[in-house]
Structure formats: structure tokens, C-alpha cells
Structure 1
């Protein structure tokens, strides 16, 4: 009988962490395990997982978000955490589950259930939490108390969790991607947007959130538009639930920065390989450390130079001056200077893009990721 692994995740979107989850559970299935994925709601992710022949359970998991950091919010979370614990305990008993794998620190209930049932639990830490300090300390101690292992997506994540999480508990496992769809895509995004082919297209892809840097991206765009005429800027991504108001702020900022005719906000898209193939330059403008942004790997796989803010996992992905540039996250004018050579020199864009593509193939392949994850699970289930 196959070993059954209960997998918990915080959303049903198809952004970076969710796409990585698909790779994880497909890899588990290929290695002979039987994953059951628990999500709070139906959505693109649940559809994608079922298409892989993997079972999905819809259980409101009581996901922890900053918007619940108030009295009524905590009461709300307590109610759903109680209900989720009952449902998960029943599932663990019914399916004889011996291992729970939680794909994000925003889901707490799986760790509690594992502790209660005295079964093994793996955290996959995809976040860098800096503030508030009380919350950072709490979640890191909770990880230590409830986990047998904390898989970390970058060295930046490991450094951030010291000293609350002991070193022996943490293991670095870089995300891997299937680079072929990005390497092979050929899409004329400029034609879709109705702009001249000699326009330099600079883009970002991220869920709309205050720390993802959409506002900073527009500040950089403003500085660049003052120096260069043939530019257009693309933003892709919808808002986190509860942050829809940021869309209005983005629209206001586009107008205030004089970029009305130079910015296209495409919202939620699923054809990310097409978007990446149509760009000339990709930017990661996160104003807080991003643990290991998948979009950077995807842009590199598409052969695009990457300009990324110099903190978090980006510093482990982008080779400054070789595959792109690392820039300040709080000085838009200064950050914009890194684009000048890429804008004016097509050969520089091509060389950096090729170097980035080679780096992804060598260090961030899906095969290496699946093999590493399979080894982790074999060790914890006790197989040779």
C-alpha cells in the first residue's frame, strides 16, 4: 500500500508557491507516495492538482493573515481552526496518515494535528517574516515546537529564522521549475498591447500587495520614462483577498506619475510563459525580502535579464552584472540606472538573458527539486 502524505496549502491560486506545490505533489506521486492535498477553497490550483490524478479535500483551514490581527479576526480564526482540526483528525485516522507536510507558515492547523497524533510533520517555509517582532518570534517557536523538519527555500530564509529555529532542523531546498515552457515560448506581447516592435517592454509579475512593490515599480518607471522615450511597462497579477483597494491606488499612481499611456495592467494571467517571452527586461521590485521568487527563475528560464531588489532569495538567484542587476529597494532613481545599459544595448540584454537561462537549467531544475524532495520524504517515512 502506498504511503499517504497529507499536504496542506494556504490558497487556491496559481502563483509561485502554488505552482511549486504542484511540482512537489506530482514528484511525490512519481516517487510512489499517495498525496492528499487539503485546501480551503476550490480554484485554479485544485483544478490543476486533480488533473494530475491527485486527491483534493476542501477544508477551511483557518489560514492566518495579517487582516485577522484584531479581536474579531482572532475569534473568526479560532472558529475555523477548531473545525479544521476535527476534519483533519478524522482524515488522519481514516487514511492512516503518518506524515503531514505544510507548504507555508500561514497554515497552522496541520502542525497542531501532527503533534496531537504524534506523527511526523514537515514545514516548508516560503516566507521571510520581519515584523511585527512578536509574531516573528511566535511563528518561529511554533515551527520549532511542532516540526520535525523545516525545509527552507533560500539561505535568506534560514538566516532570518535564526536563532529561534535550531540549525539542525532547517534544510535548504531550492525551488525548481520546468524551464522548457519558458525557454520555448514565443509570444508577441507587443502585438497584443498594440505597441511598436522597437518598444522596450519592462514587466513585473506578482500578486498585488503592499510589499510586492507595484508602487515602487511605478516609481522606477517614472524615472526611466524621463530618460527614455521608447518604453512600455507591464504589470501582471491580481490582489490578495482584502487588498483589492490597492488596485485603485495603482491606478492613481499611474496617473500621478504621468504614465497613463506607458503602463498596461493585465491583471490575472495564466499564460506566464507567454508573458515572459514577450518582455525585454523583467523586474522584481519587492520592497521587503522575497524568500525565493519563482518569477525570477521563470524570467531567467525565458532568457530575460532580471533587475531585482537586493534582498531575500533574489541575491541567491541573480548574479549581479552577469544575469542581471541587484538594485536598492528604497531608491527608485538609483535603481532605475541599472536599466540604462539594458535599454540601449540589445546585445547586453541577450548575453545576460542567456547566462540566466543556463543558470536555471544547471541549478534550479525540476528534476533536482523532485529528487531532493523525494529523498526528504523517504527519510521521514523511514524508507530506504
Structure 2
């Protein structure tokens, strides 16, 4: 009797932000491709993602010490490293049970290091573009692991400079895109959606509005929250928002941001450092909303300036305000054209089915890999041909 395939998937979070949702799509892809497989998922802790994981996983395990968190490392460097070593040993023993080991994001340091001793199929899905020093450290770790690499964008692949497969993320929407309403004389509506942290650019935007853009007729809605322990970042953002001449609304994290995309005229993605992919941009496209984005990282692979939105020089307040001023003055018909093109871009390039097909064809046990190499290439080619 043929032994059923055993797969383990390690993820760094327990919420429902972009990387969490992309992980869920990868899990679903492997479950649908291998319906009889045993698929175990390792999370750092319980959270909103658990109910979604439970739909596809055979079992959910927890290990909080294998994920590299800068705050923990700074507060207790020796204790954190000791916990990492213990987690690495646990993963070495755990991985012996599986045919395929898939690790999502490079911050799952202990799990990645443990891949080296595994003789089955090993994969690391790289979804970050770290700082220069951290990038060198992660390159060493990935080489040591000997795992096959999957990148979420060409920008991420170029940053690491190591062989791998590029698979753009895809998203699934539960409803048709919201109708685009004519603005008339009302202010322009902008939504910034996602994790709040300095490099995502929320503070950059409110600083620009407070100092240089006070005359712009717009409304800003920021949707998201900070990692626990970083509340000072949120406090500063709120203080600056209150000093802006415009209406700046800060809302917490939501599992379903559809209402915020429907409210907005544009999603704003103002990342001040290279964005590895930019899932918010394709969520906005799926909702029928064009995007105003910093021209950095994977965002330049998604947004076409003047066609599906607008790009501006990252971390440049004047460049941002010039684009916003142009968006404010744009006639309703031209905005509708951008919105229609954005939706078409999603349908043609970023549907979740395309992403899941590519994941399922790429993540394979060693005895299946040779037989599926051409199928994997075909799946990746579908994404390239649709650009």
C-alpha cells in the first residue's frame, strides 16, 4: 500500500495580514493538490488565522521561539538565541517525519536552519527584502539550508541574488468590485491598508500632509495595527494625524478590508523601503480601485503609471504631493478608466487560482519533482504570459 504524502508548513504569524493570507492560499493549494496527504502547520501562537488553517491542515502545532523578532532580540539577546537553538533542535526532530517541508518567510530562522538535515523536498518562500546587513545574514542561512527558494517578486529575487522561482501572489475576492462613484466636489478618498510600521510609510504620509499638503482636499483612512510592543509608533501616528488639516481616520486591523476599498477612490501604498511585493495593491485592483504607490520593489511589477494608478519616488514628500494633486484634479471619466484597467489587471494576472496552481506545481516531494518539472514551468509561464 502506498504511503500517503506527509507535508509540514511553517508560518511566522497568526493574524490575517497579507503574508498570512498568501500562506493560507499556499496551504489550500497543497491540500487541493494532495487531498489524501497529511499536512501539519506550525504557527508561533494561536490567533485569527487558526480557524482558516484548520479548514485545510491535518494538525496545528505551535512553537513561538523559532521566529526572529527584533524586539525580543534587542531585549534579551542571549535568551533569544538560546531559544532559537532549542527551536532548531525541535525542528530537526520534527522534520524527520515529513516528505516535504515548506517554510514561509525568512524570519522562521530555526526552521530554515533545520532544513539542511532533511532529505526530502525543502522549500523557503522568501517574502521580504531585508536591510543590507540582515540580507547578508539571511543569504548565509538560506545557502546553509540548501532549500529550494520561492520568491514573491522579481524585486525580491534580485535583492537576494540566489536561484529560485518567482511566483507572484494572488488574491481571492468574495464579491464583484464595488461601483466607482463620481466624486463631484467631495474630497479625494485615500485608504492605506496593512500593518502599521515605519517602513510601510503611514507616518511618512501624515508628515507630508501636515507640513506640505495642508491645502489638498482629501480624506485619509489608515487601516491596520502595530505588532505588540510597538504602540509608540501608533501613538506618534495619531498625534500627527490630529495636526493635519484633512480628515485622517485611524482604524484598527480588520479581517475583511473590502468596505475600506469600496469607500476609497485609491489605495495608497507609500512604502519608504523596497516593498517585496505589495499585496494591498492587487487587493485594491480586485476591488476595482486604482493604486497610488511608491515606485519601489515589487510595486513596480504591479502598478503601471497612468494606466492602473500612479507611481511616485519613494520617501519623497514633494513627489507624493504632486501625484496626489494630479489625482485630485483628475476628471471622473479618467478615474473610472484607471479603475477598470486595475480590475482587468487583477483578473488577467493576480487571481488566486493562478498563484495556487504555481505553488502546487512547484512544491513537490523529491520522487515527484522530476515528473512535474515541465508542469511547474508551464504554471510559471502562465503568470509571465499574462503580464
Matches within 5 A, 1:262-273: 262-273=247-258
Q: Indicate whether 1:278 and 2:272 are aligned.
A: no
What are the ranges of 5 or more consecutive residues in structure 2 without an aligned counterpart? 372-387
Describe the SS at the equivalent of 2:128: coil
Describe the SS at the equivalent of 1:319: coil
Q: Indicate whether 1:211 and 2:211 are aligned.
A: no
Q: Indicate whether 1:139 and 2:112 are aligned.
A: no
Are the counterparts in 2 of residues 221 and 233 from structure 1 also a CA contact under 8 Å? no
State the alpha-carbon separation in 2 of the partners of residues 359 and 245 from structure 1.
38
Aligned to 2:376: none
1:90-117 superposed Cα distances (whole Å, 9 cap, x missing partner): 4334xx3022111000001122222234
State the alpha-carbon separation in 2 of the partners of residues 372 and 88 from structure 1.
27
Are the counterparts in 2 of residues 325 and 338 from structure 1 also a CA contact under 8 Å? yes
Q: Indicate whether 1:238 and 2:230 are aligned.
A: no
Aligned to 2:378: none
1:287-338 superposed Cα distances (whole Å, 9 cap, x missing partner): 0011011111000111111010011100000001100111012221221221
Choose from 259, 266, 285 the match for 1:300.
Answer: 285
State the alpha-carbon separation in 2 of the partners of residues 187 and 247 from structure 1.
31
State the alpha-carbon separation in 2 of the partners of residues 272 and 15 from structure 1.
10
Choose from 333, 351, 359 the match for 2:337.
Answer: 351
Aligned to 1:149: 148
Q: Indicate whether 1:252 and 2:239 are aligned.
A: yes
Describe the SS at the equivalent of 1:215: helix
State TM-score, norm by structure 1: 0.88
Aligned to 2:47: 43
Q: CA deviation at 1:78?
A: 2.4
State the alpha-carbon separation in 1 of the partners of residues 334 and 211 from structure 2.
21
State the alpha-carbon separation in 2 of the partners of residues 53 and 379 from structure 1.
18
Describe the SS at the equivalent of 1:338: helix
Aligned to 1:192: none
Matches within 5 A, 1:326-337: 326-337=311-322
Q: CA deviation at 1:277?
A: 1.5
What are the ranges of 5 or more consecutive residues in structure 1 without an aligned counterpart? 189-195
Q: Indicate whether 1:106 and 2:107 are aligned.
A: yes
State the alpha-carbon separation in 2 of the partners of residues 300 and 221 from structure 1.
25
Q: CA RMSD in A?
A: 2.3
State the aligned residue count.
Answer: 363
Greater shift, 241-250 or 217-226, is seen at: 217-226
Aligned to 1:191: none
1:168-217 superposed Cα distances (whole Å, 9 cap, x missing partner): x3111111111x336345799xxxxxxx9944321101211110101112
Q: CA deviation at 1:53?
A: 5.1
Aligned to 2:33: 31
State the alpha-carbon separation in 2 of the partners of residues 186 and 80 from structure 1.
51
